[in-house]
Structures are given as C-alpha cells and as structure tokens.
Structure 1
C-alpha cells in the first residue's frame, strides 16, 4: 500500500491509514534516511492513538514509553546509536516486543535477527520539502 503526504497537515490522515492497515500487528518498523520524517510520523501516530504525552525522539534514551487516553502503552525505539545488536538485548527488547503493545521502531536494521518475524514496515521516501511517500507492507 502506498500513501502520499504533500504537507505535514496530511500526516493525521497517513497515521490513521497506517493504523487501519496494521490491524492487529504490534511491531511497526519505520525506515527512511536520516531526516526523512520517522519521528514526525511517530508523533502523528501517537496523536491518532490518543497518546497523552509529547512524543519525542528516543535517540539518547533508546526507548520512550507513552500512555494513551485509554490506558494502552506504546513503546518508541530509536536504535541509531547502537554499536551492536546485543546492546538491544541488554535493554530487554524481547520483553517490549512480546508485551502485546505497539512498538514503533526506528533504525531496526541495527538489531538484525532480534527483530520479530512479524511486523509492519513503513518505508518513508522524502520527495522534497514536506512531501513524502509511505510504502506500507506486512512481513511474517
């Protein structure tokens, strides 16, 4: 599935379409070059899911936890700073990934084989300015 956004104001529509597309899948991998808008999309997803807190990049903390108005927990990972995949094990990623909660993952390629087999992949293509293309697919 492909989605397009011509501006940031289109992101709520993209986020809602992504939520519908994901159905019951809880692991969401966001791919794209540095500055493509992975965290910006994560913020829109958080708003669409009713996150009460401000969604920020977990670049330095590696994982942020958000609570929705309905009491659900969402985990947001940024593995950019990891040197080895084993560092992800040290923070307990398996507990997060198999918690039954939505996990938004940036830079998943850094954790290699530790990524669960089933996930939704969102590839973000920067088309210049605020324009983006989002390619959604399911993997299992």
Structure 2
C-alpha cells in the first residue's frame, strides 16, 4: 500500500489506514532517513490506538511504554545501538512477543532479531511537508 501525506493534518487518516491495513500485525518497523518523520508518524499511530499521554522518541531510553485501551504499546528507537546483542540484553523478546503493539525505529540495527511477521513502513521525504509511505505486511 502506498500513501502520500502532503501535510501534518493528513497524518491521522494515514495512521488509521495503516492500522487497518496491518490487520493482526502488531509489530511495525519504520525505515527512513533521519528527520523523515518516523517518530511523528508513530505519535499518530499511538493516538489512533488510544494513547492519551505525550509520545516522545525513546532515543536515550531505547523503549517507551504507553497504555492503550487494549493493553500496551511499546516504542523503540535502536539508533544508538552499537550491536544487536544490546537488544538481547534489554530483553527485546518480552516486548516483541508480548502480543502488544510495538513500533520500531531503526530496525536495520537489529536485522536478525525481527519477528517473522510485521508491517514494514518506509518513509521518504519528498519535500518539507510531503511524505511518501510504502506500507507492506511481511
């Protein structure tokens, strides 16, 4: 599925479409350059799931946890990892296989640890406000 988002006001609709498209998948991996809008999109996905608290990038904590009506949502930012074993040390399996939503930024840092099934989102910045989203269930 391809979505074109031309302004921030289009993100809530895009988030709802992505969640619907993902179906049973609760693991979402995000690819895109620094500043492409990964965290901004994750904020909208979390809001669509019912998160009412502020969603922020877990750059230094690696993972943030949010409460949703159906359980929890976890937001990971693996940018700072030097090697995959650091994700092992933090117990990533408990999160990824919990049955809760997981939003993973910089999954290229943990390529061998990704679950078998997930929704892949590639974000391309076409200009300051326009983003192209390629969404695929794996």
Asked whether the two chains share a fold, i.e. TM above 0.5, the reply is yes
Q: Which residue in the other structure is 1:111 paired with?
A: 110
Cross-structure match for 1:97: 96
The residue number in structure 1 matching 2:30 is 30
The CA distance in 2 between the partners of 1:26 and 1:13, in whole Å, is: 18
| Counterpart-to-counterpart distance in 2, 1:40 and 1:59 | 14
TM-score by length of 2: 0.98
* Residue deviations 1:27-57 (CA, integer Å, cap 9, x gap): 1001100000000000011111110211000
Tell me the distance in 2 between the aligned counterparts of 1:30 and 1:78: 10
Q: What are the Cα deviations for residues 87-135 of structure 1, in whole angstroms up to 9, with x where unaligned?
A: 0011110010000001000000101201111110000010101110100
**Matched position secondary structure for 1:123:** strand
Q: SS of 2:110's equivalent? A: helix
Aligned-pair CA distance for 1:138: 1.1
Matches of 1:73 and 1:40, distance apart in 2? 19
User: Alpha-carbon deviation of 1:71?
Assistant: 4.8
Could you list the runs of 5+ residues in structure 1 that have no partner in the other structure?
A: none
Hey, what's the Cα distance between the residues in 1 that align with 2:31 and 2:57? 14
Residue 86 of structure 1 and its aligned partner are, at CA, apart by 0.4
Cα RMSD (Å) of the superposition? 0.7
1:26: how far off? 1.2
SS at match of 2:134: strand
> 1:66 is matched with which residue?
66
Residues matched between the structures, number: 138
